[in-house]
Structure 1
């Protein structure tokens, strides 16, 4: 049984000067293929579920620390969900062809239950850290896709 979508947090957009067939692998590498020692330690520290990476990046059923890919249409969209001790969340990506490139839209939804959840929200969302991270990761995605000629 699937739970209701958490409340909307934010949306970030970027137009990448590349077609969707080049943007999709860059998205998979930048967001789903970027597990590393520091991320693994952080995921363990906050009790992220799932905890480990499995499967091909951005394919339905694959996982990475803190996220499971529950829906993926290559070149079009992906929906990742996860949870940890302080939050449950969803991250969606939508790609749409535009003149001169591809619009990438990333939306975040999250709930932060209890007093510790409220503190976590303050540290991650209200501080602006999440926004900065998303802007930087989308910019890196754009550079990666535009270089992949």
Structure 2
């Protein structure tokens, strides 16, 4: 997939080490945490480097997109989890879709909520 334009990135420091945070990331994003190919509908695995990087990509009629999670050790007991978004929105329909998803700040709310859920799952595994 070509290099897509940068959209944004959001980070959160999680009170768990990278292994715990990685496990929580997979439980939150994959239907089967043991299979990285069970990402949510619309996404496919682009790259994985456990427990440091999970990159996914996808496309549909109105956009091509990529979402990358980077896990960096803040200290031995804390992980900085960063979600980095890239996307292209070609044509008039893409511009309208971008306005609905990105410009409305809906994307920002969804990503921040996802980081919050991963943080809770890392600290309190189910």
Distance 2:111 2:16 in 1: 19
Where do 5+ consecutive residues of structure 2 fail to align? none
- Give the structure with the larger strand fraction: 2
Distance 1:105 1:30 in 2: 15
Instruction: Tell me the residue number matched to 2:111.
Output: 134
SS of equivalent to 1:137: helix
Give the CA RMSD over aligned residues. Answer: 1.9
Shift of 1:62: 4.9
**Mapping 1:1-149, distance limit 5 Å:** 3-33=1-31, 56-57=34-35, 59=36, 61-99=37-75, 100-148=77-125
Shift of 1:4: 1.6
Where do 5+ consecutive residues of structure 1 fail to align? 34-53
Residues paired across the two proteins, number: 125
Distance 2:42 2:49 in 1: 20
TM-score normalized by structure 2? 0.91
* CA displacement 1:73-127 (0-9 Å, x = unmatched): 1111011010011000000111011124000011000000000000000000000
Shift of 1:25: 1.3
Distance 1:56 1:66 in 2: 19
Shift of 1:136: 0.7
